[in-house]
Amino acid sequence: MSKKYSLHSGTRFLSSKTVLFLSLIFSVLFTQNVTVAQDADGIPTDEAAISTGEKLFKANCTVCHAVNDKVIGPALRDIHKRRNLDWIKAFVKNSQKVIKSGDEYAVNLYNEYNKTEMTAFDFEDAEIAAIVGYLKVESAKEIVVAVEETTASTGGDATAQEPSQFVNTVMIVLLVVLVLILAVLAMIITMLKKYLSQKDDLSEDDREIAEQTFDLGALVKSNAFLGLAAFIFTAIIMKSAIDGIFTIGVQQGYQPDQPIAFSHKIHAGDYKIDCNYCHTGVRKSKNANIPSPNICMNCHSSIKTESPEIQKIYAAIENNEPIEWVRIHNLPDLAYFNHSQHVEVGKVECQTCHGPIEEMEKVSQYAPLTMGWCINCHRETDVNTKGNDYYNKLVDMHNSHSKEPMKVEDIGGLECSKCHY
């Protein structure tokens, strides 16, 4: 089986690619008096072509390529300087043909990457030029070294923790008050006993009371002590019960073993594979969906084929059996959540809910996913209205009576029927 570091497999992205290409053709060729702006090398420079190139690159290329980093294939920064546009078009359409022609650069590239064969793409010339135009723009940008900042974890649910924190505060205050009362009573008793012991006209009964010593056994058996102990015991039981009630259904930190040891750190972190490449429904469906084995085979038909974990995928395919992944993030049936609404329309990053997934060797549930946690997000998150005409009137209405950015709660994000219906 031939090795591939393809940006996509076969025709999996044909429909999206065709749509992007048609949009480019209509916008560039069929608009009156509009021409494609190009540089001296024939690379597009107008924004429409660059935007189309970006979409094509991100939809098809990021599995194996990045602008500044080597992934499965080479980094593509300044590719327009290393090779001319005609060479790039020929290589993208049929890399093996270029290699077999004896092209020195192509042969060296092929050998450098362990003779990994690149899929022959059916891109049109305008599409490839648009991708190169996007890469040229990205190559002109300065490389920014990410600096890790130490920030407080936001994985907790502030609303869910408030009752527990309130109970803890009440308990501490009560304990301090009780200690102070006991200290004051002890001081008063000591002063009274000292005063009474100095009097000469005390009766025998009064003197006996004034000179009596502390009896721990009598204290323990006293009604006051028993009442105090009962109160503390009841308070502890009630606190535990309240904490337990607020954690019902919360699986934060849940990290089950999976049938195959898939590492998000390697795939999403080291190789920077876009989450949407494997979870194909995240931008167009309610569910993000679990990747099917054929998506794994896009790369692993030729990469790490001898790995025991990859062999499990082969076995599932050969036996026509599903891989029984263990679900980690699971909202109750009474709650409705739509991935496409948040990811595609709201532009919410995967890490917002799933945490630093690109750093996880073994995935765990990062956020509590409770109602309070979701409501907090709707209260704090600005609505992403850029480039979406649907929000124009809502933005105008909001700006007419408020100078603050429009939050999700301002457009009905706290309505019960948004999530429960």
Structure tokens at 69: 């980093």
Question: Is residue 57 over pLDDT 90?
Answer: no
Read off the pLDDT of each residue in 111-132 and give the average, rounded to a whole number.
83
Structure tokens at 255: 């990290």
Instruction: Return d(Cα 18, Cα 126) in angstroms, integer.
Output: 12
Residue at token pair 């503390």: 232
Question: Is residue 168 over pLDDT 70?
Answer: yes
Question: Is residue 156 over pLDDT 50?
Answer: no
pLDDT at 144: 59
pLDDT of 291-337, one tens digit each?
889 899 988 988 888 999 999 999 999 999 999 999 999 888 899 99
Question: Is residue 158 over pLDDT 50?
Answer: no
Mean pLDDT of the chain: 81
Residue 50: Cβ-neighbour burial (10 angstroms; 0-12, 13-18, 19+): buried
Task: For residue 29, give the 3-state DSSP assignment.
Answer: helix
Most confident stretch, 155-159, 171-175, 283-287: 283-287
The region of weakest confidence among 4-13, 222-231, 238-247 is 4-13
Which pTM does this prediction carry? 0.51
pLDDT at 21: 52
pLDDT of 9-35, one tens digit each?
333 444 445 545 555 554 444 444 445
Question: Is residue 282 over pLDDT 70?
Answer: yes
How would you label 328-339 residue by residue, b for 16+ Cβ within 10 Å and e otherwise?
Answer: ebeeeeeeeeeb
pLDDT of 203-230, one tens digit each?
777 767 667 666 677 777 888 888 988 9
Instruction: Return d(Cα 237, Cα 9) in angstroms, integer.
Output: 59
With cut-offs at 50, 70 and 90, classify the pLDDT of residue 264: very high
Residue 146: Cβ-neighbour burial (10 angstroms; 0-12, 13-18, 19+): exposed
Q: Which of 82, 65, 83 is nearest to 74 (CA)?
A: 65
Question: Is residue 413 over pLDDT 60?
Answer: yes
Read off the pLDDT of each residue in 260-270 and give the average, rounded to a whole number.
93
Cα angle: 56, vertex 69, 153; to 5 degrees: 95
Read off the pLDDT of each residue in 146-174 and give the average, rounded to a whole number.
57
